Amino acid sequence: MPLLVMKFGGTSVANLDRIRRAAKRVGVEVAKGYDVIVIVSAMSGKTNELVGWVNETSPLYDAREYDAVVSSGEIVTAGLMALTLQEMDVPARSWQGWQVPLRTNSAHSQARIEEIGTEAINAKFGEGMRVAVVAGFQGISPEGRVTTLGRGGSDTTAVAFAAAFGAERCDIYTDVDGVYTTDPRICDKARKLDKIAYEEMLELASLGAKVLQTRSVELAMRYKVKLRVLSSFEEQSDEAGTLVCDEEEIMESNVVNGVAYSRDEAKLTCLSVADRPGIAATIFTCLSDAGVNVDMIVQNISEDGRTDMTFSCPTDQVKRAEVALNGCKDKGDLNFGELVADTGVAKVSVVGIGMRSQSGVAAKMFRVLSDEGVNIKVITTSEIKISVLIDRKYMELAVQALHDAFELDKAS
């Protein structure tokens, strides 16, 4: 029988009523003839409660015990979902990570999936079971201990199951009804996309569009798992939501498919750095050792043997970056004139696989911003993305103007 993976996040299983609603969606697919693997998160709020207890008990906790405690929420939802399906006369049973087994490495609290055993679940499908309900976010280490995959790990679990079982599709049910051209809260012309390429979704996910966890998109891309994002709160047709798929399956595409933003960015500049080999390595090793997540990096042209080095990082890491760089300066590893921080900036990006074959996107983007009087402070580009740092007060204006200019409100 064809197989489907369906994943329900915390808000979709927040209480018994919602679990029932989710189970009905599963029932619809079973009635169509699918065998289904359902991946569930913990009821919303439960994982935070458990994490809170662990932190209060032991601030520098043993991650193995953290995992044992925190993974218990998904076990509860899995059992309740199986019972709900049974009440609807759908043959179902629940599986904990170690029962599947979903084998991971030993990196507790952020373990990586190594292998999913398909034998036990397939045997049960062979005996007439129609739905395997699997507790998401958890696995078992080589030492036989419970591991968790880190925040959002249930998305990753779902994609990994879809790959391991050769599922026709992996449906991610969440509290939004798909992936949008931009954030509808900022731009009322934002349009839901019917399809989006893995690469684009990856850029959007890493830019903070919180629909899917980055790792799950990476995994889907690697194993060519068709991923559909859709709402668990609306009646669904077969065409609902957004399909994340290979670009070859998208016949026509706009040059730009999305405008993303990130509000909490800061820009730091080391003024008058000696322009000699190894200086960049010194700066960014120093920042990396201090745990600063550097995003964009720009080096200006040199003048009199000295240059300026600019980079961006999250606003709440500015202090840490300053301490680290001044520390390196004091130790003599590094010599710069002054360190200037600007915490009033935001990042705006346009994303689209069409950029690879079409030129002029950057020029158009800069023209649009210039026409609106928005000054660009830093620019970086990738194959399918152009990002700029601008004053935060212009962020919404910039998003709306770019959305209009690239006609994202119109389907291609």
Residue ranges that bind a second copy, judged by CB under 8 A: 16, 19, 50, 53-54, 56-58, 61-62, 64-66, 68-69, 72-73, 75-76, 78-80, 82-84, 86-87, 93-94, 96, 98-99, 144-146
- Angle (CA) 161-164-169 rounded to 5° is 60
CB of 124 to a second copy, least distance (A): 11
Amino acid identity, residue 380?
T
Q: Are 344 and 372 in contact (CB under 8 A)?
A: no
Pairing status of strand 146-148 against strand 113-116: unpaired
164's CB contacts (< 8 A; 6+ apart) are: 116, 118
CB of 14 to a second copy, least distance (A): 12
Q: Are 145 and 200 in contact (CB under 8 A)?
A: no
C-beta of 23 vs 113, nearer to a second copy:
23
CA 239 to CA 179: how far, in whole Å?
13
CB of 401 to a second copy, least distance (A): 50
CB of 153 to a second copy, least distance (A): 18
DSSP 3-state assignment of 278?
coil
C-beta of 33 vs 117, nearer to a second copy:
117
C-beta of 63 vs 389, nearer to a second copy:
63
**Cα–chain center distance at 114:** 20
C-beta of 83 vs 397, nearer to a second copy:
83
The DSSP secondary-structure symbol of 212 reads S
C-beta of 58 vs 370, nearer to a second copy:
58
CB of 75 to a second copy, least distance (A): 5
CB of 15 to a second copy, least distance (A): 9
C-beta of 85 vs 207, nearer to a second copy:
85
C-beta of 139 vs 178, nearer to a second copy:
139
CB of 116 to a second copy, least distance (A): 16
140's CB contacts (< 8 A; 6+ apart) are: 97, 98, 101, 102, 103, 104, 146, 147
Compute, in degrees rounded to 10, the torsion defined by CA atoms 347, 350, 356, 361: -100
DSSP 3-state assignment of 274?
strand
CB of 50 to a second copy, least distance (A): 7
CA 166 to CA 116: how far, in whole Å?
12
Question: Other CB atoms closer than 10 Å to residue 222's CB: what's the count?
Answer: 11
C-beta of 117 vs 291, nearer to a second copy:
117
CA 241 to CA 254: how far, in whole Å?
18
CA 255 to CA 242: how far, in whole Å?
18
